[in-house]
């Protein structure tokens, strides 16, 4: 895909957000196949991600923090014929509302004191069929959220805003 010029109209449109997002739920996965523990606050660390999460201790992982949109949880619940979906079931760390997470591609963003970098989409795993029931995997497709890496350590808590701070091209491509 061709790189957009910083002065192109499409590039300019891709820099606009109607509002900051907001963290509405948080959880950590203490171990593989263990329930996700809901939390109100945590600390994001460079190289290891969120305190208490099973991915902590995996240096330089691109999956240090996982995020999903609250709006997508509503869609997945609808696909499954449910009124509501417990965020812990989808095994993501942060549920945010009010910002399109896929629009954060090639961006760094701040949540609380921490600065994160978009590293990719968070595709569903086969466990979604087991956890959500028949059709769970397909319900999550294209609604699994994103993965991120911690660039600047800091505290994160429910209620914190999610705001873009830079494009990769502005801080040097990785």
What residue ranges define each of the domains in the chain, with the CATH number in brackets? Answer: 21-169 (2.40.33.20)
Residue 163, classified by CB atoms within 10 Å of its CB into exposed (0-12), middle (13-18) or buried (19+), is: middle
Q: What are the tens digits of pLDDT across the range 102-119? A: 999 999 999 999 999 999
Question: What is the predicted pLDDT for the residue at 31?
Answer: 86
Q: How many residues does the chain have?
A: 174
> 130: helix, coil or strand?
helix
Q: Please tell me the least confidently modeled range out of 12-21, 68-77, 132-141.
A: 12-21
The pTM assigned to this predicted structure is 0.86
Tell me phi and psi for residue 154, to 5 degrees. 170, 170
CA distance 49 to 56: 5
Question: What is the predicted pLDDT for the residue at 3?
Answer: 65
The CB density around residue 66, as the number of other CB atoms within 10 Å, is 22
């Amino acid at each position: 895909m061709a790189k957009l010029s910083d002065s192109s109209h499409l590039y300019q449109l891709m820099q606009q957000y109607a509002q900051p997002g907001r963290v509405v739920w948080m959880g950590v996965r203490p171990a593989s196949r263990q329930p996700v523990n809901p939390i109100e606050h945590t600390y994001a660390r460079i190289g290891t991600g969120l305190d208490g999460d099973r991915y902590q201790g995996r240096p330089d992982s691109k999956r240090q923090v996982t995020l999903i949109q609250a709006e997508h949880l509503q869609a997945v619940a609808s696909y499954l014929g449910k009124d509501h979906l417990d965020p812990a079931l989808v095994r993501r760390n942060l549920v945010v509302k009010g910002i399109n997470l896929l629009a954060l591609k090639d961006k760094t963003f701040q949540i609380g004191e921490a600065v994160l970098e978009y590293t990719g989409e968070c595709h569903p795993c086969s466990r979604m069929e087991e956890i959500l029931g028949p059709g769970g995997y397909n319900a999550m497709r294209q609604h699994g959220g994103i993965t991120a890496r911690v660039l600047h350590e800091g505290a994160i808590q429910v209620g914190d805003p999610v705001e873009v701070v830079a494009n990769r091209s502005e801080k040097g491509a990785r």
